[in-house]
Every structure is written in C-alpha cells, then in structure tokens.
C-alpha cells in the first residue's frame, strides 16, 4: 500500500507581502488616528478630509521612500559583502576553507566529510561564494528591481489603507457622526487585515485580527482624547 505523501505546509512571506503589510498597517492606523484627533477639536468633515488627504499624500511618499532606501541599502550591502567574499577566497583560501569546514562540522559532519565538500567547492568559486553568503553571512541575493517595487507597493498600500477611515468623512458632513462610522469601518478593516496578515505569517488569525484592531483603536482614542483636552 503506497505511503501517503508528505506535503510541506510552510509559508515564507514574500517581500511583496511584507511591503503590503507595512504600508497597509500604517495607512489604516495613522490617518484613522489623525481624523479621530481632529474630530475632537473641530466639527467640519471637510477640513478633516483635507487634512487627511494631505497626510495620506505625505505619508505614502515618506513610507515609499523609506522602503526604497531600505531595499537599496540591502542590495548595496549584499553587493559589498559578496565582493569581499570573492576577494577572500582568492587571497585567503585556507581561512575560507576552514570556515566552511567549521560550518559543516557544526551540523555534525566529520572532519573528513567536511574536507570532501570543501575540495568540491574549491573547484567551483562562484558556488563557494554563494555558500559563504548564505551560510556564513545569512544573506540572500535581493531580487533585481526590488527597491522600486518596494517603494510603489508600500506607497499604494498606504493610500488604500488611509482612504478607509476617511471614507466616512466623505459621506457625512458632521464630523462627529462621521467619526462613529469611521470607527466601525476602520476597526472591522483592521481586524480583517490583521486576520489576513496572521494567515500569511502563520500566527493565529483571530488573535492577530483582534490585536491589530486593538492597536488602531488605542491610537485613535489617544489622538481624540488629546485633541479634546487641548481644545
């Protein structure tokens, strides 16, 4: 009787998923807190919408630029470290070979078994460098064009997230009435987004959703309370 095939169910979040999470999380939370805070001081939805759109524009640009610079820095760091490794296997081959042996021996291979692998890698310099980058330094080669894609993904996710809490202010002229609807819509959106994020990251869906909604709610409540107190 054939054995039941074993299917791996691991999930590794892609760079794009992480970018969406970063942009959407801030996009839902920051404009929500801003709108709530302004509602504590003024009653005009029009002014809140204007301020909210300005914040979304500035926030999406800032977040996108941050993502771009982070991805560029990651790519530059990888290139720098790879150049260093390529130089070291030429100028310090015995030192690098010993490092490879130590890595394999840390996994339980004997000195003789490790030496066999080292000799094989010596004949394939690029594979040797790839091995050192991954197992010595723990670095993976960034995808080409990653920086620009990261910037656009984060910025767009921020805009989409930011429009959700402001949508109620576009419908209701009275800011306090709009706030009630905004709270309901945004908390539901935060919970759904948190649940989806938990599904992708492998954390409990319900806990992730509730925690995300709680964080957004606390931020908005704090902003509203401070604005009322100051005004």
179 with 35: CB under 8 angstroms? yes
Q: Give the chain's length.
A: 231
Specify the pLDDT at position 12: 46
Closest among 77, 58, 57, 80 to 69, alpha carbons compared: 77
**Do residues 175 and 129 both lie within one domain?**
no
Is 216 part of any domain? yes
Specify the pLDDT at position 64: 92
Is 8 part of any domain? no
Q: What is the pTM of this model?
A: 0.75
Specify the pLDDT at position 62: 93
Is 9 part of any domain? no
Q: How many domains does the chain have?
A: 2
**Do residues 156 and 219 both lie within one domain?**
yes
**Do residues 56 and 106 both lie within one domain?**
no
Specify the pLDDT at position 146: 84
Specify the pLDDT at position 227: 62
| Three-state secondary structure string covering 111-143 | HHHHHHHHHHHHCCHHHHHHHHHHHHCCCCCCC
**Do residues 196 and 224 both lie within one domain?**
yes
Specify the pLDDT at position 230: 66
Specify the pLDDT at position 42: 78
Segments of the chain with pLDDT less than 70: 1-13, 201, 220, 223-224, 227-228, 230-231
Specify the pLDDT at position 201: 66
Specify the pLDDT at position 4: 54
**Do residues 26 and 60 both lie within one domain?**
yes
**Do residues 99 and 211 both lie within one domain?**
no
Residues of the domain holding 106:
81-136
Gap between the Cα atoms of 53 and 56, Å rounded: 5
């Amino acid at each position: 009787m054939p054995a039941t095939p074993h299917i791996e169910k691991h999930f590794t979040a892609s760079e794009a998923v992480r970018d969406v999470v970063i942009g959407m999380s801030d996009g839902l939370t920051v404009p929500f807190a801003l709108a709530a805070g302004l509602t504590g001081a003024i009653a005009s939805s029009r002014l809140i919408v204007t301020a909210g759109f300005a914040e979304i524009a500035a926030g999406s640009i800032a977040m996108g630029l941050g993502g771009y610079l982070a991805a560029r820095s990651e790519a530059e760091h990888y290139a720098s470290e790879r150049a260093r490794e390529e130089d070291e296997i030429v100028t310090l081959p015995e030192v690098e070979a010993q490092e490879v042996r130590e890595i394999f021996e840390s996994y339980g291979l004997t000195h003789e078994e490790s030496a066999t692998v080292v000799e094989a890698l010596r004949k394939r310099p690029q594979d040797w460098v790839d091995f050192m980058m991954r197992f010595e330094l723990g670095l993976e080669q960034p995808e080409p064009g990653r920086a620009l894609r990261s910037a656009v993904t984060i910025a767009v996710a921020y805009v989409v997230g930011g429009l959700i809490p402001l949508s109620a202010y576009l419908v209701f002229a009275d800011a306090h009435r709009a706030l009630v609807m905004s709270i309901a819509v945004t908390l539901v959106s935060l919970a759904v987004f948190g649940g989806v994020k938990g599904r992708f990251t492998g954390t409990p869906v319900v806990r992730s959703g509730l925690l995300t909604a709680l964080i957004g709610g606390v931020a908005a409540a704090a902003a509203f309370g401070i604005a009322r107190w100051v005004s």
